Amino acid sequence: MTENLVGIFLNSVFTGNILLAYFLGMCSFVAVSKNINTAIGLGFAVIFVLSITTPLNWLIYHFLLAPGALYWIGLPDVNLSFLKFIMFIAVIAAVVQAIEIIIDRFSAALYAGLGVFLPLIAVNCAILGTSLFMVERDHTFIESLIFGFGSGVGWMLAIISMAAIRIKLRYANPPYGMEGYPLAMIVTGLMAMAFMLFSGISF
């Protein structure tokens, strides 16, 4: 049991990294990785939102939407799973909004750090993608908790290392037209190769 959970965590951070292996959250990854401090801020915001929305969506999926989930109100034949896309995105948008209001109310310092990134996160594909993967891989509740947190950590690891590399790249002298996005993509490719090598290590 514990071994399995550790496996899910390590897999979602390294070999099955949500960004480098499944390409999710690329848009904000490329746009925000220019500065290391904003990268750290966005990384923490993503971990925070993912660890809340993934288990929450698990509960919603397994008690409202999955085939047979409505047996507790006497409707065992109803299958609402086709509603999962719209439901998940609504939950994510609502949670992000709620978190924004709560931290604005209770911690000005945290709001200054995370607040600006929260609206960006509602449409980050990594968040919705993690919830959808959680359904597809049949995780249990505890597993979905670990998986959400692990995916967030993996995403943060990727964006911080990218930001650090891009600081060095400012002093590089790439060929004409290569500056900016093309170079960022190729560097990401090389990083993805490095992360894949973790799959050779058996945990």
Partner 1 sequence: MSHGAKMKKKNNALKIFLQPIWSKNPINIQMLGICSALAVTVQLKTALVMALSMTFVVSCSSFMISLFRKQIPKNIRIIVELSVISTFVILTDEFLRAYFYDISKQLSVFVGLIITNCIVMGRAEAFALSNPPHLAFIDGIGNGFGYGSVLLAVAFIRELLGSGKCFGFQVVPDYLYSMGYENAGFMLLAPAAFIIIGLLIWLQKVLTKDGELNR
CA pair distance 81, 62, nearest whole angstrom: 10
Phi and psi for 21 in degrees, rounded to 5?
Answer: -105, -30
Q: Measured from the CB of residue 71, what is the shortest distance to partner 1 in angstroms? A: 23
Q: Measured from the CB of residue 177, what is the shortest distance to partner 1 in angstroms? A: 3
The residue (of 112 and 119) whose beta carbon lies closer to partner 1 is 119
Q: Measured from the CB of residue 114, what is the shortest distance to partner 1 in angstroms? A: 20
Q: Which residues bind partner 1 (CB under 8 A)?
A: 20-27, 30-31, 82-86, 89-90, 93, 123-125, 127-129, 132-133, 136, 176-186, 188-190, 192-193, 196
- Cβ 185 vs Cβ 19: under 8 Å: no
Q: Measured from the CB of residue 7, what is the shortest distance to partner 1 in angstroms? A: 20
Burial level of 142, CB count in 10 A (0-12/13-18/19+)? middle
CA distances from 200 to 13, 97, 189, 196 (A): 15, 41, 18, 8
Other Cβ atoms less than 10 A from the Cβ of 136: the count is 8
The residue (of 10 and 169) whose beta carbon lies closer to partner 1 is 169
The residue (of 104 and 179) whose beta carbon lies closer to partner 1 is 179
The residue (of 101 and 178) whose beta carbon lies closer to partner 1 is 178
